[in-house]
């Protein structure tokens, strides 16, 4: 990561109002989607600008659908719940939770060894979403750990 590139992105995001900066942020992530180092630099720059503006860019603005889904699964034991973009990911450590997760509409990702739920209908999912590693997804989209329950 070069400081020169970081300064360039900070200047780009600072020169725009918040909604326009968010659009530019998404466009830059798409432009450099195959360069993880550059996407991390873009992400850091964007969040720094948003924090300086007093925006809650690092704190996800959860939609009501996502909030409702999280409320459904919070009573479960031995889980970690994380929101990444418009996806809810559950790291489940208790086999007794499986039926509750299925009933709540979660699906299991064998590649990532996590349960997930998304607001996106299947036809809107990116064609390469099954190929991405979980950490790569987290770097690309804002994420927040909502709950770690280990009773």
Please give the tally of structural domains in the chain: 2
Helix (H, G, I), strand (E, B) or coil at 92: strand
Longest dimension (CA), the chain: 51
Q: How far is CA 45 from CA 49, 51, 75, 106, in A?
A: 6, 10, 36, 33
pLDDT-derived band of residue 106, with 50, 70 and 90 as boundaries? very high
pLDDT in tens, 10-21: 899 888 887 788
Same domain, 41 and 73: no
**Is residue 73 included in any domain, yes or no?**
yes
pLDDT at res. 66: 80
Same domain, 27 and 78: no
Which residues span the domain enclosing 21? 3-52
Which residue(s) pair with 145 in the sheet? 82
pLDDT in tens, 20-66: 887 788 788 778 867 778 877 887 888 888 878 776 543 444 566 78
Q: How far is CA 42 from CA 81, 127, 132, 140, in A?
A: 25, 23, 19, 10
Same domain, 80 and 46: no
Q: What is the pTM of this model?
A: 0.55
pLDDT at res. 85: 79
Same domain, 29 and 76: no
- What is the Cα–Cα distance from 59 to 56, expressed in whole angstroms? 5
Same domain, 92 and 122: yes
- What is the Cα–Cα distance from 64 to 84, expressed in whole angstroms? 15
**Is residue 58 included in any domain, yes or no?**
no
User: Which residue, among 9, 85, 3, has the nearest Cα to 45 in the 3D structure?
Assistant: 9
């Amino acid at each position: 990561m070069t400081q020169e590139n970081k300064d360039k992105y900070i200047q780009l995001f600072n020169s725009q109002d918040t909604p326009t900066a968010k659009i530019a942020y998404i466009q830059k992530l798409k432009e450099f989607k195959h360069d993880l180092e550059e996407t991390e630099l873009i992400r850091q720059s964007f969040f720094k600008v948003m924090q300086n503006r007093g925006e809650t860019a690092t704190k996800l603005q959860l939609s009501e659908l996502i909030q409702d889904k999280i409320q459904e699964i919070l009573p479960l034991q031995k889980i970690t719940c994380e929101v990444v973009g418009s996806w809810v990911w559950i790291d489940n450590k208790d086999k007794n939770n499986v039926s509750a997760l299925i009933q709540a509409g979660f699906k299991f990702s064998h590649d990532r060894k996590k349960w997930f739920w998304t607001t996106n209908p299947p036809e809107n999912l990116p064609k390469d979403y099954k190929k991405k590693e979980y950490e790569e997804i987290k770097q690309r989209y804002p994420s927040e750990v909502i709950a770690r329950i280990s009773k």
